[in-house]
Amino acid sequence: MLKHFCNVVAAITLPVMAIASTTRIQSPDGSIEMSVNLNDSISYSVAKDGKIIIERINIALSPEGAHTIGVNPRLKKVNRKSVNETVTPAIPLKHSSISNTYNSATMQFADGYAVEFRVFDNGVAHRFVTSGKGDANIINESYNVTLAGPAIAHIQQPWGFKTAYEEAYTHIPLAEWKYTDRMATLPALMENEDGTLMLFSESDLSDYPCMFLKGAPGNSFSATFPRVPTAFGDDGDRSVKILQEAPYIASTKANRTYPWRFVAIGSPTDIMEQTLVCQLSAPSEIDDTSWIHPGTASWEWWNGATPYGEDIDFESGFNMDTYKYFIDFASKNDIPYIIMDEGWAMSTRDPYTPNPDVNVHEIVRYGKEKGIGVFLWLTWLTVENNFDLFKTFSDWGVKGLKIDFMDRSDQWMVNFYERVCREAAKNHLLIDFHGAFKPSGLEHRYPNLLSYEGVLGMEQMGGCTPDNSVYYPLIRNAVGPMDYTPGAMISMQPECFRSERPNSAAIGTRAYQMALFVLFESGIQMLADNPTLYYKNPDCTEFITSVPVTWDETRALQAKTGEYALVSKRKGDKWYIGGITNGKEKHRTFSIPLDFLSPGMSYDMTSFEDGANAHRQAMDYRRKNRSVDSQGTLDVKLARNGGFAAVLTPSAR
């Protein structure tokens, strides 16, 4: 579970006789300072290394029929606290042990509310805390941000609140982002003129809608939220139409804490290493997590379920023989799960009647015999209409559910995610959300939630390019697990790209695909391609099936926003390296100091590198073996849309 071990906590209560104009809070290392200003409203500015980078963030909360929280604030007291604790996440995607060190100030106001501010060495956060009895309707929450100077906004812009968070990023000067333009999802990345990054997102989201952003005059933007839906109409087997909305964004308890709004601040490598969503999330609600096993999965949908070759004497497709073949492949390669996507049931609306061509009960039995767990795909609407299915599937022996097509972020849908995770946990079922919004802390409260899609991933074929995906370590994957579904064995450069199932392909080199398994984070990491192609590429298969999905330590090595990202990760005494680049240059070269390795030890390194012609023929790669140690430097050359992947194992003595 997510545990907090507190080493040092110092609390100071400072009574305030009158409204203080400014309260300053510094990060533990002194590099970041937040100045909270009280006058006719509550706002704060943020400085890094003595330079203002966020000129102002105005905040307020508007309950129906009550005084707007944050307007004409009357400060009663300030409680200051310094915390230095260790957090151990149940699913450690970056670190098995996280240092959670910050200084905070909780400001209590006369109208019965408080605002808590936290300042970390790599970011800032705030949240509202309200008291009262019964329920409250929240008309709006204000979060109006003005940066201290020009910036580039790296944002995902849907056409409305109905979105699966799968749009490609746009990159526009912040001052040119107009209120009438398309809104943006969180997380949103702002890059100022000196390259400092500010990643805006939220954590501890519960019983409340997701935040979106709208452009504003100047170097500014503001929050906007979907309203509470109150009436629905039919819209097919995997969605509903919203026919009516309430005039408020949430109907919730009057006595509660609200979601954290945070900004991670620093260089590209700082953003890649930060873990603020985890640090700001509520603790796990699952006491015994011993049944939760992250891992890889073989998935049939992307490749069309069409294994072929000399060892295939049956007609492949969505049938019993094919699924058993996938299970055999998983068993031979230590892949703990298979995913059964759409088609395993007779109807997408009926989760209890299996398609006789794929007899789920026999597949689950066969998987258990081979040590392989089975995930079943479902639409969210079918889950909602059959909420007792969790116990039924657990009784069947199913290990997890892939739930799809939510495509909404309003309070009702946020609560649906939570209800699913809670009920699944009661029945020891794992969850993978597709058609989903971004991670916002629920995965730490319920670590049986292994991953979310909410990304323009490889299932979009030619729409998924390295030029877009290279931003993920700094934006989408920087806030939590991401089901990108990597693993293509047919690699192409974009100018010659062709892909159609069953001959599915991906843009980027073979080494690029290998690197994604190290670089991208997910509690359930797919092997999206055909078992036949994995058998034909045993060296690649051996590598990607050996890459862990949880880690003891992560170190970002080198990164440049939108151009390249390289990382090293440790599991036990083994280190892995993964790096990718965009299509801007024919080749890029990097020199990587290996000082993260244990001193005095020699390591055997097996690497997968772009071949001499990978910039044209993306299938060209080289597998190399060499000995390295902490005193050495690794020279790496990446082709355009290329990558590098390696495993470093202590040499036998």
Contact 163, 185 (CB under 8 A): yes
Which 3 state secondary structure label does DSSP give 246?
coil
Contact 499, 462 (CB under 8 A): yes
Closest to 79 measured CA to CA, from 42, 119, 130, 115:
115
Contact 580, 645 (CB under 8 A): no
Q: Report d(CA 21, CA 34) in Å as an integer.
A: 13
Helix axes 538-546, 510-519, angle to 10 degrees: 10
Q: What share of the chain is helix, strand, coil (3-state, %, to 5)?
A: 15, 40, 40
Please spell the DSSP secondary structure of 57-115, one letter per residue: EEEEEEETTSPPBTSS--EEEEEEEEEEEEEE-SS-SS-SSEEEEEEEEEEEETTSEEE
What token pair was written down for 456? 């323009």
Q: Tell me if residue 459 is catalytic.
A: yes
Q: Which helix (H) or strand (E) holds 242?
A: strand 240-245
Task: Determine phi and psi for 579, rounding to 5 degrees.
Answer: -150, 145
Q: What are the CA-CA distances from residue 649 to residues 521, 576, 603, 604, 613 (Å)?
A: 21, 9, 5, 5, 29
Give the amino acid at 131.
S
Q: What are the CA-CA distances from residue 84 to residues 120, 160, 198, 414, 515 (Å)?
A: 11, 41, 23, 31, 34
Start-to-end CA distance of the chain, whole Å, equals: 37
The alpha carbon dihedral of 107, 113, 119, 124 has a sign of negative
Q: Which of 121, 191, 273, 404 is catalytic?
A: 404
Q: Which of the 8 DSSP states describes residue 410?
A: S
Q: Tell me if residue 202 is catalytic.
A: no
Per residue, what are the HEC states of 261-324? Answer: EEEEEECHHHHHHCCHHHHHCCCCCCCCCCCCCCEEEEECCCCCCCCCCCCCCCCCCCCHHHHH
Q: Which of 191, 204, 300, 459 is catalytic?
A: 459
For residue 502, say if its preceding peptide bond is cis, omega within 30 degrees of 0.
yes
Q: Which of the 8 DSSP states describes residue 477?
A: G
Q: Report d(CA 209, CA 229) in Å as an integer.
A: 11
**Cα–chain-centroid distance for residue 604?**
32
Catalytic residue numbers read 404, 459
